[in-house]
Structure formats: structure tokens, C-alpha cells
Amino acid sequence: MSGPVRDPAGERGTAAPAGRAPADRDAAGRDAGDREPAGRESAGRVPGVRRSGLRNPVAATRGLGAATLGLEALVLLLAIQPIRVLGGRLTGTTIAVILGLAVLALVVAGLLRRGWAWHVGTAVQGLLLLAGLLHWSLGVLGLIFAGVWAYVLYVRRVILG
């Protein structure tokens, strides 16, 4: 019979993966990085086991937030032409608001390492909703991205606890 050879259950070795020394494993065979810092265990959770399974959950959530804000900036920039075609009053103020929101979203995406930037990201969603007063399509984009941002915050809360 051809195919990969699998170890029977329970006969897995404790050999370290490439680039890791065997000392990086605990008695149960888990990577040392899989354990939570002391004092982080809570009721109902197994001590020493990460909740999310991600190697760096903080960076993962930060990347999700930054990608969302980056996509929002791109969509805002691309929205200028459809607003013009739909017969919206595309004044200098409207263009300045759209460009300002796009730049603000990109700046906040770069600042998500700081805790306060997540609150500013929420404020960006509120400002985009207010921009709906200039043109209805900006309000629709505001509703869509506010929903996406709410989901990003939910995922962040679930992963980081």
C-alpha cells in the first residue's frame, strides 16, 4: 500500500519541530509558546493552553483591523467616480471629506498597535455614517463598514478575551 506512513495513536515522538530545541516543550509535549502567562488562566479554561490557537493573536487581530481599514480607504477613493455618475453634488467639500476619511482610515490602520487607535477606528465608522448626509451612497458605505468593523471588534474580543 502506498501513501504517507502515519504514526499510530499515542506513539508520537516528542521530537522538536525544525528550528526548535526539545527544551521548548513541556512535559505534555506542547510548545512552550502555547502556554499562557501566569495569572491569565480563568474558570472553565484549561491552564497552560492558548485560547485562540494562534501563534500571535494580538498581531492577528491587528492585521484584521488594518486590512479592514485599508479596504475601507480603497473603497472610499474608488467611490468618487460612482458618486459623480449617479448625479450627486460632488463639490470640493465632498471630495475633501472622502479623501480625509480615506487618509484617516489609513493612518489609523498603521496605529492599531496602540489601544486607543481601536476607538479612533470606531470613530472613523461614525464619521463615514455622518458623511451619508453629503451623499446617500456614503451612508450605505458607512452602514456596511460599521457592520464589518463591529464584527472585527467582536473577533478581537473573542480571540484576546
| CA-based nearest residue to 145, from 135, 133, 137 | 137
pLDDT category at 150 given cuts 50, 70, 90 is very high
What's the CA gap between 37 and 11, in Å, rounded?
29
For the whole prediction, is pTM greater than 0.85?
no
The DSSP annotation for 83-149 comes to HHHTT----HHHHHHHHHHHHHHHHHHHTTTSHHHHHHHHHHHHHHHHGGGT-HHHHHHHHHHHHHH
What mean pLDDT value characterizes the chain?
81
Instruction: Say what percent of the chain tops pLDDT 90.
Output: 56
**Confidence at residue 73, expressed as pLDDT on a 0 to 100 scale:** 98
pLDDT tens digits for range 45-99: 556 555 678 889 999 999 999 999 999 999 999 999 988 888 777 889 999 999 9
CA distance 103 to 119: 17
